[in-house]
Structure 1
């Protein structure tokens, strides 16, 4: 059964008047966590789209790059998106419920933030409202500012990407310590590890993007330090 079929089942369980918040309460354990993760990305993407007031074709394409959607599943994905856009509940309430759903598992919440960054940058324009939205979501998730900055450095470089910022380390940190940090990030970014946290198989592209970013950052740092 595809992730979208499972999402359809979850949506059909909602009674009249219930919103997506009720789903977040019910999806705290496997295999429901992967359904909850996908719904959370769609729901927060819908709220983020309201933040900058525009849903572009690029953002839709970006979502498809994170989650494979077959033509027959498009209506179910659209239903989740529309439910979130129409829901009277604000994004802050969503974020709090999602944090509870994942029991403050920062690895999974970080995976979710990556999906949101990917979609926000899809049109090549990082709107100030999107930046404020994502920063506030990270705060509600309980994410340390340093970790948020590392994420932001990967997706929203102000000029040249800072490899130290990408790895979340300081430039004056000894190279062996940076290497240990990089290796831990590589282990944490393995697709199997991410799927075990709740990332659905359809979303492993996030793992591929993260692995490429952190490996490139390490290569740049090691080249500088050994030059």
Structure 2
């Protein structure tokens, strides 16, 4: 059963008067099915925080809407339910900090700083940059979400570097490497990142298949960064 069918059935069968109550409903409704709970929680997190972030700079652009649909291919029969969730999140009086705090407890492993939370932040970066720039208020939003998710500065910088720079980004930051690292250490880190971000691994930790487009973009950024680092380190070794 697709994640959108799951979400549609969940919304239809659950009495909800505020978006903040949805997160707790996910926890209880899917308590006996942790895999589905992770997938539904991830999808609802992206819908909720995307809606809140769209309001961060006061303007919801068509580019941001398009970016959402690039990574979330919602079948026509479920568009109405997803749109209603998005609109409810925008209207709910609860701030995004409250959502992020609740969502951190729905992490796939149930532990702080799990990888699914990093995936959520990565998706938010993708949407935020869609209009060609990351605005100051959006960066504050993203930084606050990262803090609530207990992601450290290195993790945040690595995600930021993948999304910002348009070719000028330091490839060492993308890979989480320090300048002066040995070739073997750099290659080890690169291979670990590729394994860690393989689409099958993301699905296993709760990222819906419908979201894998962002995983492919992440791998592309990692590979591009490694190409530059590899050339740099090999050139240094020949000196």
Both structures adopt the same fold (TM-score exceeding 0.5): yes
Is the Cα–Cα contact under 8 Å of residues 20 and 84 in structure 1 kept in the other structure? no
Unaligned 5+ runs, structure 1: none
Q: Provide the rounded CA distance (Å) in 1 between the counterparts of 2:143 and 2:37.
A: 27
Q: Distance in 1 between matches of 2:85 and 2:15?
A: 15
Unaligned runs of 5+ in 2: none
Kindly report which structure 2 residues correspond to 1:106-185, keeping only aligned pairs within 5 A, or say none: 106-157=114-165, 160-185=168-193
Contact 2:125 2:163 in 1 (8 A): yes
Per the alignment, residue 21 of structure 1 pairs with 23
Secondary structure of the structure 2 residue equivalent to 1:52: coil
* More displaced 10-residue stretch of structure 1: 172-181 or 37-46: 172-181
1:30-45 → structure 2 map (5 Å cutoff): 30-45=35-50
Q: Secondary structure at the match of 1:214?
A: helix
State the TM-score, normalized to the length of structure 1: 0.95
Q: Which moved more, 1:206-215 or 1:28-37?
A: 28-37
From 96, 106, 109, the equivalent of 2:101 is 96
Aligned Cα root-mean-square deviation (Å): 1.6
Q: Is the 8 A contact 1:24 1:97 kept in 2?
A: no
Q: 2:221 aligns with which of 192, 196, 213?
A: 213
Residues 8 and 81, structure 2, Cα contact 8 Å, conserved in 1: yes
> Aligned in 2, Cα 1:186/1:16: closer, same or farther, shift over 3 Å?
closer
Deviation at 1:158, TM superposition (A): 7.8
The counterpart of 1:75, out of the listed 72, 80, 83, is 80
**Secondary structure of residue in 1 paired with 2:222:** helix
Q: CA deviation at 1:12?
A: 2.7
- Greater shift, 216-225 or 12-21, is seen at 12-21
When normalised by structure 2's length, the TM-score is 0.90
* C-alpha distance in structure 1 between counterparts of 2:216 and 2:88, whole Å: 30
- In 1, Cα distance between equivalents of 2:168 and 2:118: 23
Contact 2:16–2:22 under 8 Å retained in 1: no
Which residue is 1:194 aligned to? 202
Tell which structure's C-alpha radius of gyration is larger. Answer: 2
Alignment check: 8 A CA contact 2:113 2:151 kept: no
1:87 match:
92
Cα deviation 1:171-226 (Å, max 9, x = unaligned): 12222111111111000111110000101010111110011001111110010111
